[in-house]
Structure 1
């Protein structure tokens, strides 16, 4: 009798029907370790390429400024740096299709560590004690991130993205994010609050949408390459539009921050805010920490904290990028003049040249005013 009941319960007619949520959960629970490790390796290689490209571009700028003949965009070396950066960013994009977003985003500290090492070795920058301590902390944090991050590698399909996009917790998260973004944008634009935290929070809120859309697009492209075509679904193109729009506005606000504040402030704050927003996006949208042990979550957050502190120490008190150009003479240094403009003298003459023309214009303006 017991055997008969067991046979009946194992038959397909007696098995309970899976709900939509259970079906998606069964798809998520697949855990290929090779894909997880592949995503980590691709992300690390991409970040190293980005750091190399930044230092190559920096070297090209320094060399062109010393020669003073042609603009930087005519340098072959500068274009090689741009090409390497494109390859590195493409690697980060591909990594989102294999590993959790909450892991790929914090691995951006690898770029900061590699950039500091390359600048010391090739650009002959000085090594500080804070660089050594910060690099050690960042490497330790990276190890904890890789060890205790969720080891699930989700198969991102169009149906799965649609299911996540209409879930109540993501809709609530999206509503809160839109409200906060509007408040910050009002303070920034209308109230003229130009604090670095305001600007970087705007970047971070956009970055959360970028992470969600990038992982969705990358995952669907990966599944299409494997043989399950996902590009025929409208949700793929919706995510592409979200990815492009959020990236464009994110770059816009980030450039504004770079104009108003020094890179030593923008780099660590942007890394911390971007990483935090990516982790929250991975938790809310892709539910990446579901079923993870409490100790793993604590150690993962501790690894993030060490990475944040390491990046802050590496970027702290770096030399200012915006330095006064020696080819220009300040007007307030000319006897009898109280002007703050900068006028470039003629390169081939001993006289001031265009400086004299500027003085003549100023005198003419004063005569007209009188």
Structure 2
């Protein structure tokens, strides 16, 4: 295991801070929605009274701060370190919901949180060091190498096929259609964000990078990919259960982002088989914890006090008729 570099440490602090802010924002916004719902139509029923609620705006500001910290983290640390740490926001929101919103965190949810922490720690301890970059032109060179160009154009081609062929036919019935678009575009977004973040870091350090056209191309790519990603993520959230969308999106988005980063920034070139295997084990541990946390989030809420059993709609109908 290599010692953690100062850039990796800064990226780690920013990524963890981002998770704390984003995780807190969900709870603060939920408080605002509850207060707004007590005095007017709820947001789920089409109401917009939450826009007048200070708590909801406090939650939005907290989320924006978290996203800015996450943006900055990519400028210092490799995506293979920053992206998986997004799971910590899920843990933080679950723990706060348990104590503040009285949404009981079941024993399996606690186990899921523990798995996420263990997996995150494993990745942090074995993550590759950030590549030393002195100009955005170096990032452009990495982005225009054959390996990443193939990934970039294949990703865009797959997204185009999904949008024009599969969305009209299966968008409303198959979650993977919308999430596939979000995840592929999300991986390109992160690569663009990392490039722009590096440009900002160097510019603040006294070496202006915005005089290069490459910086502006990366900026345009980030804006385009973000808009497309947000559009289809909203469609997924509006069509499918959030408890299913969140873990599936997290898994696919993180997987594609790590693949893109490995291809573009060659994160694993400086590492041996043991370190790479350990990182993969840490990643799988985080995925397991995330799924466990989401799948058991509603356990213990049944009036009988027993754990609810996941059954088919038909069996639920039979049970309700008794």
State the TM bucket, normalised to the shorter chain: 0.7 to 0.9
Partner of 1:24: none
Give secondary structure in 1 for the equivalent of 2:169: coil
Q: Deviations over 1:127-158 (max 9, x none)?
A: 21221110111110001110111123432622
Question: Which stretch has the larger CA shift, 101-110 or 176-185?
Answer: 176-185
C-alpha distance 67-319 of structure 1, shift in aligned 2 (>3 A): farther
1:34 correspondence with 2:12: no
Which has the bigger relative contact order, CA under 8 A and spacing at least 6?
Answer: 2
Q: Deviations over 1:188-230 (max 9, x none)?
A: 3343443111211111110111011000000110011112211
Report the structure, 1 or 2, having the larger helix content.
2
The answer on whether the counterparts of 1:98 and 1:154 sit within 8 Å (CA) in structure 2 is: no
Give secondary structure in 2 for the equivalent of 1:231: coil
Partner of 1:227: 206
Return the alpha-carbon distance in structure 1 between the equivalents of residues 278 and 143 of structure 2. Answer: 29
So what's the TM-score if we normalise by structure 1? 0.75
1:248 correspondence with 2:227: yes
Please list, as runs of the form range in 1=range in 2, the aligned pairs for 1:306-345 lying within 5 A after superposition: 306-319=285-298
Gapped regions of structure 1 (runs ≥ 5): 1-30, 321-370
So what's the TM-score if we normalise by structure 2? 0.86
1:170 correspondence with 2:142: no
Partner of 1:60: 32
The answer on whether the counterparts of 2:133 and 2:139 sit within 8 Å (CA) in structure 1 is: no
1:78 correspondence with 2:56: yes
C-alpha distance 35-272 of structure 1, shift in aligned 2 (>3 A): same
C-alpha distance 179-156 of structure 1, shift in aligned 2 (>3 A): farther
Please list, as runs of the form range in 1=range in 2, the aligned pairs for 1:11-26 lying within 5 A after superposition: none
Please list, as runs of the form range in 1=range in 2, the aligned pairs for 1:1-370 lying within 5 A after superposition: 33-68=5-40, 71-155=49-133, 157-194=135-172, 195-319=174-298
Q: Deviations over 1:236-263 (max 9, x none)?
A: 1111111011111101100000011011
C-alpha distance 150-166 of structure 1, shift in aligned 2 (>3 A): same
C-alpha distance 163-189 of structure 1, shift in aligned 2 (>3 A): same
Return the alpha-carbon distance in structure 2 between the equivalents of residues 243 and 155 of structure 1. Answer: 20
**Cα offset for 1:175?**
2.4
C-alpha distance 191-127 of structure 1, shift in aligned 2 (>3 A): closer
**Cα offset for 1:317?**
4.6
Return the alpha-carbon distance in structure 1 between the equivalents of residues 103 and 134 of structure 2. Answer: 43
The answer on whether the counterparts of 2:159 and 2:181 sit within 8 Å (CA) in structure 1 is: yes
**Cα offset for 1:89?**
0.3
**Cα offset for 1:173?**
1.3
Gapped regions of structure 2 (runs ≥ 5): 42-47, 300-322
The number of residue pairs the alignment matches comes to 290
